[in-house]
């Protein structure tokens, strides 16, 4: 007997997946993983959404093989779970995974800031990234700011000579990102405050104060605790 498709009230899968464009010249599974991950982070695919491979594959115009690979990666990160009699669904927010991911991210990025205070940064490379953040913060456009924020942290890791450290953080940080998105998109002016944090981090790096640079970075990352409960 076919499983009944239970969906959150008012949910429209086609609308949630709108905008996904697959480049057939690039690995399809990776593109699907990134697209679905972002939609889980920003709640376009809310917790409890059923994952029906045939529906998603049809809407994204892909076969189920690369989609299954993408879903397996999401499951390994705890973003998709399988429930008896229900099937695969988008996971609920997980406090334990969130705190673990926050710990890992703070440890990695704190050390990145410390290293940059010792080696310096490429100001020309930073300038356009900061300009994007400032423009988004000025109009409190958190969706755009979130994208620029990701780029900022990725660029810092690359300038520190440890791009792999950022990739490692990426494997766990979706749980932090879900909390960040809820926090920052719901509080007026939060984008500007995050941008101000970035400027304090850079000020410490530019002054070659490694201890302060690390502390500023860790404090910035842990601001998500302010609205995520005890």
For residue range 99-152, what is the model confidence (pLDDT) as tens digits? 999 999 999 999 999 999 999 999 999 999 999 999 999 998 888 998 999 999
All domains in the chain, ordered by first residue: 13-90 (1.10.10.10), 95-227 (1.20.120.530)
DSSP conformational letter for 26: S
C-beta atoms surrounding 227 within 10 Å: 14
Which residue is it, tokens 């304090």? Answer: 200
Give residue 230's pLDDT band: very low, low, confident or very high (50, 70, 90).
very low
81: phi then psi, degrees, rounded to nearest 5: -130, 160
40, 42, 112: which is closest to 77 by C-alpha? 40
Which residues lie closer than 8 Å to 23 by C-beta, 6 or more apart?
A: 31
Task: Report the distance separating Cα 144 and Cα 220, nearest Å.
Answer: 19
Distances (CA, A) of 184 to 32, 55, 144, 223: 25, 31, 12, 10
Query: Could you tell me if 56 and 13 are in contact, meaning their C-beta atoms sit under 8 angstroms apart?
Result: yes
DSSP β-bridge partners for residue 50: 89
* Confidence class for position 2, pLDDT limits 50, 70, 90: very low
Between CA 62 and CA 30 the distance in angstroms is 12
Q: What is the pLDDT of residue 188?
A: 79
Q: What is the pLDDT of residues 3-49, one digit of tens each?
A: 445 556 678 999 999 999 999 999 999 999 999 999 999 999 999 99
- Both tokens assigned to 1: 């007997």
Per residue in 175-211, pLDDT tens?
988 888 877 667 778 889 999 999 999 999 999 999 9
Q: Beta-strand (E) ranges in 19-135? A: 80-83, 87-90
Query: To the nearest whole percent, how much of the chain has pLDDT over 90?
Result: 71
- Supply the pTM of this predicted model: 0.82
- Residue 8, both tokens: 């959150």
């Amino acid at each position: 007997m076919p499983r009944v498709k239970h969906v959150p009230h008012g949910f429209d899968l086609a609308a949630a997946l709108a905008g996904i464009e697959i480049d057939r010249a690039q690995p399809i599974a990776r593109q699907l993983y990134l697209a679905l991950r972002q939609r889980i982070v920003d709640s376009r695919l809310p917790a409890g959404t059923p994952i029906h491979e045939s529906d998603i594959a049809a809407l994204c115009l892909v076969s189920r093989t690369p989609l299954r690979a993408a879903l397996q990666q999401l499951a390994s990160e705890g973003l998709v779970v399988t429930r008896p009699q229900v099937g695969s669904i988008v996971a609920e927010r997980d406090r334990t995974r969130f705190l673990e991911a926050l710990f890992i991210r703070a440890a990695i990025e704190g050390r990145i800031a410390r290293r940059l205070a010792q080696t310096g940064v490429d100001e020309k490379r930073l300038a356009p990234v900061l300009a994007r953040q400032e423009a988004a913060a000025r109009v409190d456009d958190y969706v755009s700011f979130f994208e620029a924020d990701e780029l900022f942290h990725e660029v810092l890791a690359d300038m520190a000579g440890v791009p792999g450290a950022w990739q490692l953080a990426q494997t766990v940080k979706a749980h932090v990102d879900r909390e960040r998105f809820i926090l920052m998109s719901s509080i007026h002016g939060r984008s500007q405050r995050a941008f101000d944090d970035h400027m304090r981090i850079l000020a410490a790096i530019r002054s070659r104060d490694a201890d302060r640079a690390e502390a500023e970075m860790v404090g910035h990352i842990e601001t998500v605790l302010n609205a995520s409960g005890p």
